[in-house]
Amino acid sequence: MKGRLVIFLCAVLLAIAGVLHFKPASGSASPIVTLDGGAGSSGLVYITLPHFQTSRANTGVAVHEIVNMRLLDAARDVGFSFVRTDLFWDAVQKDGKFDFGDFDALVSALAARGMGALFILEGSHSIYSPGHPPQTELELAAFYRYVYRTVAHYRNANVRFEVWNEQDAKDFWGAEPSPSAYRNVLKTAVTAAKAANPEVQIASGGVQQIDRDFILSVGDIVGVTQRGPDAVGVHPYRQDYPETAFKDYRLLREDLARYRAVPDIWATEWSYPTYEYAYVSDIHDGHSPKARELQAKYVVRLFLVNWISQIGLTSYYDMRDDGSDPFDREHNFGLMDHDYGELPVYVATKHLFAFTSDVTRAQYFIDESNRYVVLKLSAPGVTRYVIWCYGDGNNIRLDTSHFPKSAIFSDMYGNKRPGSGVQSIPESMGPVFVSVRT
Q: 416 and 296, same structural domain?
A: no
Phi-psi label, residue 230: left if phi above 0, alpha if psi -120 to 50, beta otherwise: alpha
How much is the pLDDT for 378?
A: 97
- Residue 279 near residue 240, CB atoms below 8 Å: yes
Q: 263 and 126, same structural domain?
A: yes
CATH of the domain at 291: 3.20.20.80
Considering only CA atoms, give the Rg of the chain: 22
Q: 321 and 189, same structural domain?
A: yes
Q: 117 and 223, same structural domain?
A: yes
* pLDDT per 10-residue tile (average), the chain, 438 residues: 34 38 49 81 85 98 97 98 98 95 98 98 96 98 98 98 98 97 98 98 97 98 95 97 97 98 98 97 97 98 98 98 98 98 98 97 96 97 97 94 93 92 94 96
329, 355, 381 — which closes off a domain?
355
Q: 188 and 171, same structural domain?
A: yes
Q: Which amino acid is at 372?
A: Y
- What gap in Å lies between CA 114 and CA 83, rounded to an integer? 11
- What gap in Å lies between CA 295 and CA 273, rounded to an integer? 7
Q: 57 and 45, same structural domain?
A: no
Q: 233 and 366, same structural domain?
A: no
- Residue 19 near residue 309, CB atoms below 8 Å: yes
326, 355, 384 — which closes off a domain?
355
How much is the pLDDT for 419?
A: 81
Residue 10: CB atoms within 10 Å: 13
Displacement of CA 187 from its chain's centroid (Å): 25
Q: Which amino acid is at 175?
A: A
How much is the pLDDT for 12?
A: 35
Q: 273 and 260, same structural domain?
A: yes
- What gap in Å lies between CA 296 and CA 242, rounded to an integer? 12
Q: Which amino acid is at 405?
A: K
How much is the pLDDT for 160?
A: 98
Q: 201 and 72, same structural domain?
A: yes
Residue 295: CB atoms within 10 Å: 27
Query: Total domain count for the chain?
Result: 2
Q: 142 and 212, same structural domain?
A: yes
- Residue 414 near residue 354, CB atoms below 8 Å: yes
Strand 159-165 with 202-208, pairing: parallel
Q: What are 387's strand-pairing partners?
A: 374, 432
Phi, psi (deg, nearest 5) at residue 7: -65, -40
CATH of the domain at 400: 2.60.40.1180
335, 355, 375 — which closes off a domain?
355
Q: 173 and 244, same structural domain?
A: yes
* Domain around 118: 53-355
Q: 168 and 141, same structural domain?
A: yes
